[in-house]
Amino acid sequence: MKYKRTLRVESNGDIAMPNQKAEFLDGQRGAVQELKILLSTVRGEDPFAPDHGLDLFEAVGGLDAILVREIRRALLRDERVEAVDSVDIERNEPGARVAEVTVGVSLVESVTVQFAAEVG
């Protein structure tokens, strides 16, 4: 399976434009960027892909086990993800709405990647 080519975005969500020229990512780097975006998108927010995103209303501010479940569900809906190997959650305080998550994912091309994302 070939991964799609995607525009590189900055951490604030803006399209990266070094030297006033759009920059693209493909392969694992592109897949990881898109998975991070998936976890920061509220499920149902995109009218063209209503299943895209994380069910934040179910997951945020509750038990860590619920957040882990929803992260796994969201990632496994992506056709590039074969398995979610690990999800580690770190919160500044128990029950905090925002959490920093570190995720280990096996992609369909037998590649394992790990990335961090903020959810909430």
Instruction: Specify the CATH number for the domain of residue 97.
Output: 3.10.450.40
Residue 45 counted as domain residue: yes
pLDDT at 74: 95
Q: Which tokens in the block code for residue 62? A: 């509750």
Q: Tell me, yes or no, whether 1 lies in a domain.
A: no
Tokens standing for 60? 């945020």
Domain that holds residue 13: 6-119
Residue by residue, pLDDT tens for the chain (120 residues) are 567 888 898 888 888 888 899 888 888 899 999 999 999 988 988 899 898 899 888 777 678 899 999 999 999 999 999 999 999 999 888 778 889 999 999 999 889 999 999 998
Domain assignment present for residue 88? The answer is yes
- Contact assessment for residue 104 and residue 34, using Cβ atoms and an 8 Å cutoff: no
pLDDT at 14: 85
Count of structural domains within the chain: 1
What whole-number distance in Å separates Cα of residue 50 and Cα of residue 44?
A: 4
Tell me if 26 is assigned to some domain.
yes
Would you tell me how many other CB atoms lie within 10 Å of the CB of residue 79? 8
Which residue type is seen at 94? P
3-state secondary structure of 18: helix
As a whole number of angstroms, the distance between CA 78 and CA 11 comes to 21
According to the model, what pLDDT value does residue 37 have? 92
Residue 48 is assigned to a structural domain of this protein: yes
Residue 16 in any domain: the answer is yes
Identify the pLDDT of residue 2.
63
Residue 97 lies in a domain: yes
What is the arrangement of strands in the sheet containing 81-90, beginning at the earlier edge strand? 81-90, 99-107, 111-119
Q: What pLDDT score was predicted for residue 68?
A: 95
For residue 36, being part of any structural domain is answered with: yes
To which H or E segment does residue 103 belong?
Answer: strand 99-107
